[in-house]
């Protein structure tokens, strides 16, 4: 995985609809989609979208955010995390997914399963994101664009170590994850961040989310808390994330 060469990034298809061009890329085993406003200029800010657990690059949560971003003039890109979408699950992945479903059925805490599994997925995915971003920015039609990262749940588990390592990323929106596997990377992040948590999250203890927000070394950081459970994050948070990227990547 670590020997991915950005120069191997290959455009496999593209289509245009309703003012937005969608391009499908592959890089080794990595499948990715790029959305852009028609006639986007080189240097247009690019937001990397990290999908949630069990989802993939074309899940409505990704295409919906991509649409908000292209409507605001951004490019957006999502990749499929290993074992997600078209990328096959290995036997270890299958074992974890089964354990997760069993814990859910039994009403047991899912953190002890999700945290180490997503840390493992992050180790696989961070080098893939870095190669993909390098490959995209090497394309003249994209050029030297300011880059942001936006992902909650698994997107945060991958995004926090990614943003800690990847100097291309200038601003990030995170949320809805436990602290323990992410604190060290969070302490190395200094770019502006927006972090969202749910006040009545049935999976992630309130104090854990606050501790993760506290750990970011960023001097510009905002926490958005909303009443409600894990899945109840209000839709207006997505519009707020777009405004966050407008403040930090544009102009």
Residues that bind its own copies (CB under 8 A): 199, 210, 213-214, 218-228, 234, 236, 240, 243, 247
The Cα diameter of the chain in Å comes to: 52
SS3 content of the chain, % helix, strand, coil (to 5): 40, 25, 35
Total length of the chain: 251
User: What's the min distance (Å) between Cβ of 145 and its own copies?
Assistant: 23
Q: Compare residues 72 and 210 and give the one whose CB is closer to its own copies.
A: 210
d(CA 85, CA 106): 27
Phi, psi (degrees; rounded to nearest 5) at 60: -55, -30
Distance CA 4, CA 83 (A): 17
Nearest to its own copies of 27, 191 (CB atom): 191
* Joined tokens for residue 170: 């200038």
Q: Measured from the CB of residue 107, what is the shortest distance to its own copies in angstroms?
A: 24
Q: Which is nearer to its own copies, 110 or 233 (CB)?
A: 233
CA 55 – CA 61 distance, rounded (Å): 9
- Smaller CB separation from its own copies, 106 or 227: 227
Using CA atoms, how far residue 204 sits from 111, 189, 238, in Å, is 7, 22, 20
Closest to its own copies by CB, 6 or 234:
234
CB of 248 to its own copies, least distance (A): 11
CB of 221 to its own copies, least distance (A): 5
Q: How far is the CB of 234 from its own copies (least distance, A)?
A: 8
């Amino acid at each position: 995985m670590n020997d991915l060469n950005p120069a191997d990034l290959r455009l496999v298809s593209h289509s245009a609809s309703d003012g937005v061009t969608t391009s499908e890329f592959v890089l080794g085993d990595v499948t990715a989609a790029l959305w852009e406003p028609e006639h986007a200029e080189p240097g247009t800010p690019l937001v990397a979208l990290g999908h949630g657990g069990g989802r993939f690059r074309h899940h409505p949560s990704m295409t919906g955010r991509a649409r908000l971003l292209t409507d605001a003039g951004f490019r957006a890109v999502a990749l499929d995390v290993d074992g997600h979408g078209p990328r096959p699950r290995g036997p270890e992945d299958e074992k974890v997914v089964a354990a997760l479903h069993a814990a859910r059925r039994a009403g047991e805490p899912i953190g002890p399963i999700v945290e180490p599994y997503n840390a493992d997925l992050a180790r696989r995915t961070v080098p893939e994101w870095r190669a993909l971003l390098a490959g995209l920015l090497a394309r003249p039609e994209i050029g030297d664009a300011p880059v942001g990262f936006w992902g909650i749940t698994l997107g945060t588990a991958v995004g926090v170590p990614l943003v800690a390592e990847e100097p291309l990323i200038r601003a990030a929106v995170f949320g809805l994850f436990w602290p323990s596997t992410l604190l060290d990377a969070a302490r190395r992040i200094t770019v502006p961040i927006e972090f969202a948590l749910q006040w009545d999250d049935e999976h992630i203890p309130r104090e854990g989310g606050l501790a993760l927000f506290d750990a970011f070394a960023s001097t510009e950081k905002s926490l958005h808390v909303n009443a409600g459970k894990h899945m109840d994050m209000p839709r207006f948070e997505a519009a707020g994330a777009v405004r966050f990227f407008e403040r930090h990547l544009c102009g």
